[in-house]
Amino acid sequence: MPTLTLICGLPGAGKTTVAKRLEAERSALRLTPDDWMARLKIDLFDEPRRTAIEGLQWEIASRALSLGIDVILDWGFWSRAERDDYRERATRLGARTELKYLEVAPSQLWQRLEARNAELLSVSASITIAQLEQYSRVFEPPTSDELASSKQEL
């Protein structure tokens, strides 16, 4: 049975690092919108285009899952409703779902983002402290019941 892994966390939490590690360990398909957007030279804050790319990535992910291939979605999954939606989609395809939540203290997130901002990597967008604070206010951390139903092997 294939597994859909949802990588959940705020910017700077280490989501892509974990997703890449899992991709190698499991020979899974990793889909990261930031990678595609950077490659296409799309502003990482362009939400309509991010939504379109995530839609395309889900089409690829659903096909891969139906073929028995593990998939890792490195999307952040900031809301319970979004996580529930993708768990349901995976179930309809006959796949398991695993949630990987990267909980990092706000001060450490900011330190990581400052370092990333300073490097000006082509795959990164500069994030301000005000944006991080705003993101933290709207982010819905997974509940204990969500986490209990997923293996946490980080």
Which pLDDT value is given to residue 153?
A: 39
Sign of the alpha-carbon torsion through 124, 50, 93, 69: negative
Q: Give the confidence band of 72 by pLDDT, cuts at 50, 70, 90.
A: very high
**Poorest-confidence range of 39-43, 108-112, 134-138, 145-149?**
108-112
**Could you name the CATH architecture of 3-148?**
3-Layer(aba) Sandwich (3.40)
Rounded to whole angstroms, how far apart are CA atoms 28 and 96?
14
Q: What is the pLDDT of residues 74-126, one digit of tens each?
A: 999 999 999 999 999 999 999 999 999 998 887 777 677 777 666 655 445 67
Structure token digits, residue 33: 């919108």
Residue 119 or 2, more confident? 2
Best CA proximity match to 13, nearest among 104, 83, 98, 75:
104
Q: What is the pLDDT of residues 4-60, one digit of tens each?
A: 999 999 888 889 999 999 999 999 999 999 999 989 999 888 999 999 999 999 999
Structure tokens at 10: 């705020």
* Predicted confidence (pLDDT) at residue 73 exceeds the cutoff of 90: yes
d(CA 41, CA 65): 29
Which residue from 100, 116, 137, 105 is spatially nearest to 6, judged by alpha carbons? 100
Q: What pLDDT, on a 0 to 100 scale, did the predictor assign at position 120?
A: 58
Top pLDDT among 6 and 134 is at: 6
Predicted confidence band of residue 149 (pLDDT cuts 50, 70, 90)? confident
